[in-house]
Structure 1
Amino acid sequence: MNNRVLACPILIFLALICAAADTIAQSKSPNIIFIMADDLGYGDLGCYGQEKIKTPRIDQIAKEGMRFTDFYAGATVCAPSRCSLLTGKHNGNAYVRGNYEIGHWRSYLGQLPIPAEETTIFEVLKQKNYATACYGKWAMGRAESSGAPDQHGVDDFFGYNCQRHAHSYYPYYLEGNRGEKFWQSGNSRQPGGKTYSHDVLADKALDYIKANKDTAFFLYVPFTIPHGPLEVPDLNIYKNEDWDVKLKTQAAMISRMDKDVGRIMDLLKELGIDDNTIVFFTSDNGAHGDGGTLEFFKASGPLRGRKRDLYEGGIRTPMVVRWPGKVKPGSESNFAGAFWDIMPTLAEITETKVPSEIDGISFLPELLGLPQPKHHYLYWEFYEKDGKQAIRKGKWKAVRLNLHKNFHGSPVELYNLEEDISESNNLASKYPEIANDLLGLMQACHTPSPYFKFKSQ
């Protein structure tokens, strides 16, 4: 028999096997990595105009993906921002709306825990059997509470369960799943030869990617840099700068985090999973601005305010997204989205279902260059200081202050963000009908909470 005749069916068979393998590879759900800095300002990255602090690896993500100009954190401080991110709800509906601490400062008992019935992104992705991990600051409830990571779909957790505990980069211990503590010796407030916690978290993220390269995974990395205190093992490229040491420390912290983001990106290519991994990078709220960093680095960029403000500098955040073959390199988006949009976006990507009561919408169409539905409005409230509310509807932004003293009578400040991104020109008296419309929306957005109330309500 002619050997060529025998070879043809074999070649066809092998071709079919290869085609099937390609189809299986293409159908594998994408890996998702969500990296979040802590107190990183809108202007702290090179891709958002920073000129003094070097962030080449995060800037590269922007060049190879999409940079959002009008994206917002869930809140202007830590715990409520994380709650909005993980549960898909804005501050008027979310369970955690402020940094509500359990116990005294040194108790490290954590924040007000989210209840067991709250659904998180991790639990949504579990519908598709995603492997899940979180390395960093959790702040949704202490170990063994209803809000602990392992109670909400997190397979592996390591880091700071309590955000107050995260107020040191040289802590007495870090925690794992179910509250296991990994101790290190020495005074937690005096660095000197002990392990810098950020380095541990970065290494854990890298190890996790290696261990899960053959399965679909969701890796949430809420780094604590550059939240205070300003601590870093070395000043690196900034040691010879003629700056105050606090400024050099802040810059070194951010560049150290940037380097580790680069290590993650390099590993994805090394393992051959880069093309099937979507990477998000953002910050949990505006710049802390401590030690003169707000002014020196222009950490809020052109925006007014900082952390704990509901002006743009407190809530508008950097957001860059990279997804090879899906997100157009070098693209820019002015879609006005917020943290509560992350859950429905990841659900649409993975073809999973979200709870019916969330406030977010998917911005997957925006990522893919397709027509994108818009929010009717975005809403925030804040209970520290004198109490505040803010809402954005299209180009209009409204802010109310002093709500603990005068919830029903506090005046509305009104700004046109298209013409006045720095919120310097209050237009409430010029456009009273718009101000009243936004006031009505703010009142409708605020739902009762047993833990979070404005004193004058």
Structure 2
Amino acid sequence: HTGHVEIRGNKQFGNREGQQPMTPGITTVATLAKSAGYHTGMIGKWGLGDPHTKGNPSNHGFDYFYGYTDQVLAHNYYPEYLWRNGEKQFLKNEVQYLDSTAWHAGLGSRSTGRVEYSHDLFIDDAVTYISRHQQEPFLLYLPLTIPHDNGEQVDSMVFEVPSQGIYANKNWSKKEKDYAASVTRMDEGIGKIINHLQRKELSNNTIIFFTSDNGPMRAHPTTTFFNSNGPLRGGKRDLYEGGIRVPMIVQWSGKIQGGSTSDHLAAFWDVLPTVGDLCGMELSRPTDGISFLPTLIGEGVQTQHGHLYWEFHESAGAQALRQGDWKMVKNNVKSNADPPLELYNLSNDIAEENNLAADLPEKIAALEHLLENSRTVSQLFPLLNVDN
């Protein structure tokens, strides 16, 4: 999350009311596309407010919504219900909600009767959505939950998947087989959507973005077994490269050369201005994002970031800043008013093993000045070292 947005992390909002609702009026990819005449749909997980709050997806540009509106409820792939356009749709699953005194306040659950699998429902609904709106411009946001685990399940069942498929006979643990099967099921679902676009003759007029919101779980058995992070340090909930460096795959037949790659430095906040360029819409106010459309199509001049900034508000909190190959990290910023600084040169230390902070005080001072001026004070998401 950048330092200039309203919502900078997951913050539970009451009991069974999802996370902190986003205030209406904030520009989103959906409001931008909708203003350009696109029908806008979202299928999957929304974590910015339940339907009866101001965070209802319909208040933020989405004409259609189907899915979860609570991050914790979304851990269960066989949920009691899903939301469709503000109405609960109960499923055939039998759900056991867990101890209300636990961290999840009773939202954590596991299902004893598993009939309807949310991921498959999402893929099928995405195909239906495309068919329904094939005659008009549309934007479909598909934030899938798979392969996120259900941490409230018994340990051997945390990766909920109907079948181990091609991995069933592997000489692996059950958890490893289930995780691999989850990733493959996601891949098959995306393939189903791409094949549907081809059958509808929409491939040449549709751009597809595929990416992840974070790296793999830190020190998790499956991360270790599959070497998911390669040489990168850390993982999910870290601001080291293992937590924030993720791939993005983009397909646009006839516009983007197949098999091409780019090392252009971009971040999620660049998606908004990129969608604006694709829709022919200018943003009404400046943002931290820079359109990477020139990089995608190989035309025009690509503007580069002067630096990138992140902050993370779970656990002890963290901040990070990257300028070129230089990367500065601050950990424990919610509990320590003067946390130690870490400095790495990613050009020769992608694993962030050699902390150069003590050797380069002038570089540290320059980056810290940038970091301090890369955010606004937030009452919802305060950091001890700057907001108190």
> Which residue does the alignment assign to 1:156?
64
Deviates further, 441-450 or 303-312: 441-450
Q: Take 1:200 and 1:137, find their aligned partners in 2: how far apart are those partners?
A: 12
| 1:269-296 C-alpha deviation (Å, 9 max, x unpaired) | 1111100110000011111257501111
Are 1:178 and 2:86 matched, yes or no? yes
Gapped regions of structure 2 (runs ≥ 5) = 97-109, 151-158
Equivalence for 1:380: 310
**Higher mean displacement: 255-264 or 365-374:** 365-374
Contact 1:227 1:288 in 2 (8 A): no
Higher relative contact order at CA 8 Å, sep ≥6: structure 1 or structure 2?
Answer: 1
Alpha-carbon shift at residue 193 of structure 1 (Å): 4.1
Q: CA deviation at 1:243?
A: 1.1
Q: 2:38 aligns with which of 114, 118, 130?
A: 130
- Contact residue 247 and residue 291 of structure 1 kept, 8 A: no
Which structure has the highest helix share of the two? 1
Equivalent pair of 1:225/1:254 in contact (CA under 8 Å): yes
**TM superposition shift of 1:129:** 1.1
The aligned residue for residue 390 of structure 1 is 320
Q: Is the 8 A contact 2:13 2:21 kept in 1?
A: no
Q: Does structure 1 residue 98 correspond to structure 2 residue 25?
A: no
Residue in 1 that maps onto 2:26: 118
Please give the alpha-carbon distance, in whole angstroms, between the structure 2 residues aligned to 1:248 and 1:191.
21
2:142 aligned residue: 221
| Equivalent of 2:279 in 350, 353, 356 | 350
Q: Which has the larger radius of gyration?
A: 1
Aligned to 1:12: none
Give yes or no for contact 1:167–1:228 (8 Å, CA) kept in 2.
Answer: yes
C-alpha distance after superposition, 1:197-218 (max 9, x if no partner): 1000000001111111111100
Percent identity over paired residues: 44
Give the secondary structure class of the aligned counterpart of 2:373. Answer: helix
Distance 1:154 1:142, change over 3 A: same
Q: 2:47 aligns with which of 116, 136, 139?
A: 139
Deviations 1:301-355 (A, max 9, x none): 2211111101011111120001111111111111110110001001111111223
Question: 2: distance between equivalents of 1:355 and 1:317?
Answer: 29
Aligned runs of 1:13-412 on 2, under 5 Å? 75=1, 90=2, 92-103=3-14, 107-187=15-95, 189-190=110-111, 192-229=113-150, 230-289=159-218, 292-370=221-299, 371-407=301-337, 409-412=338-341
Matches of 2:344 and 2:204, distance apart in 1 = 41
Output one character per residue of 1:359-409: Cα deviation in whole Å (capped at 9) or x when no partner: 1010000001133110011111112222210011111111011212323x2
Structure 1: distance between partners of 2:218 and 2:136: 40
- Secondary structure at the aligned position of 1:97 is classed as coil
Q: Cα distance 1:398–1:354, how it changes in 2: closer, same or farther (>3 A)? A: same
How far apart are 1:183 and its partner, in Å? 3.4
TM-score, L = length of structure 1: 0.77
Query: Which letter maps to 1:210?
Result: S
Report the Cα distance in structure 2 between the residues aligned to 1:434 and 1:330, rounded to whole angstroms.
37
Counterpart-to-counterpart distance in 2, 1:135 and 1:405:
37
Change beyond 3 A, Cα 1:290–1:260: farther
* Displacement after TM superposition at 1:102 (Å): 1.2
**Structure 2 contact 78–93 (Cα < 8 Å) conserved:** no
Distance of 1:110 and 1:187 partners within structure 2: 18
Structure 1: where are the runs of 5+ without partners? 1-74, 76-89
Deviations along 1:95-142, one digit per CA (max 9) or x if unpaired, are: 111210012xxx321000110121211111112210110000011111
